[in-house]
A and B are shown apart, each in its own frame.
Chain A
Amino acid sequence: MNWLFDIVSVNTFWTILLIIHGLVSVALLGALSHQAMAVMRPAQLAQKDKTFFDAFRSVKATKYAKAICVLWVMSFILGGWIYSEYRIYVRIPIEQQEFYKTLGAFELKEHLAVFGLGMLPIYHFAWKFSQQENYAKLRKYTTLFLAVVCWYAFLTGHIVNNVRGYGA
């Protein structure tokens, strides 16, 4: 890694990594939100009658499954990489400031992200056989679980990022 730090400073490197992690998470959040809406309330209106919300959920949900798996794994790897830096340079100052609930919420995010990772194989299986009606409930609830976890992780990540103020 030393060769890399000759090009960019250590702080810049971790900031870039955090931004990439954030961007991947935004893509994942968007994909999961579309898919979850599509699976919860499939749109059945004719094209001309569509509102914004109808259009939001009238995506081909099957097409999202592989991308969601790839984005989840990417986001997880990036997050896991940043986590070691967080443990030293972020968590300790937050502990010193006694923001315990924020830390707890972040720890829960890490746990839930692992649960989501473990759910990816069955989620992918359910969408792989998207024509099978007997997997409809499985598709619905695994997608919903991943979407809720993703939203929670995204919001908690933001809170932790901002807890000590900009540039802290």
Chain B
Amino acid sequence: MSNEYLAYENDLSTLRYRTFMTIFSASFSLSYLLVDVLKLPTFSYYPATHKMAWGWLPSSVDDGPAMYWYGWILSSLLMALVVSYLCSMLPINILKRIPLSIAWILPVALIPCLIYTLKFYWR
């Protein structure tokens, strides 16, 4: 293999790696907000009884309050991994066009939405 080809391969793998990281940051925050709003945690956890159940379940008299935070994190992690992997496999000319700034601009832009989802508390 020529040095030129190795440099190209190296560049491509760095580009894919960079895209994966960039999209992961953006998609993780976006999917976290979506699973929160759409009530899509992977599981619900009842800290009073240490019981776990798949999906979203309401708080109950027997098991106490339900927690969804752990489930949201897992759901968004899985979604972000899939999206980032798929994006990192895009053709090189598209990869080069993905702006790095999306990694921090999207999470910052989603903060007002997060604040809005907590409107119950701002009274």
Query: A residues within 8 Å of B by Cβ?
Result: 80, 83-85, 87-88, 91-92, 100-101, 103-105, 107-108, 110-112, 114-115, 117-119, 121-122, 125, 135, 137-138, 141-142, 145
Interchain residue pairs with CB less than 8 A apart (11): A88-B47, A88-B64, A104-B121, A107-B118, A111-B114, A118-B80, A121-B25, A122-B25, A122-B103, A137-B101, A138-B100
B42 adjacent to chain A (CB < 8 Å): no
- A114 in contact with B45 given A101-B121, A122-B21 (CB within 8 Å): no
Q: In the complex, what distance in Å separates the CA atom of A3 from the CA atom of B48?
A: 20
Interchain Cβ contacts within 8 Å, total number? 96
Task: Let me know if A145 and B45 touch, CB within 8 A.
Answer: no
Task: Let me know if A142 and B104 touch, CB within 8 A.
Answer: yes
Query: B residues within 8 Å of A by Cβ?
Result: 17-18, 21-22, 24-25, 28-29, 32, 36, 45, 47-48, 64-65, 67, 69-70, 72-73, 76, 80, 100-101, 103-104, 107-108, 110-111, 114-115, 118, 120-123
Q: In the complex, what distance in Å separates the CA atom of A104 from the CA atom of B121?
A: 5
Task: Let me know if A111 and B32 touch, CB within 8 A.
Answer: yes
Q: In the complex, what distance in Å separates the CA atom of A83 from the CA atom of B73?
A: 14
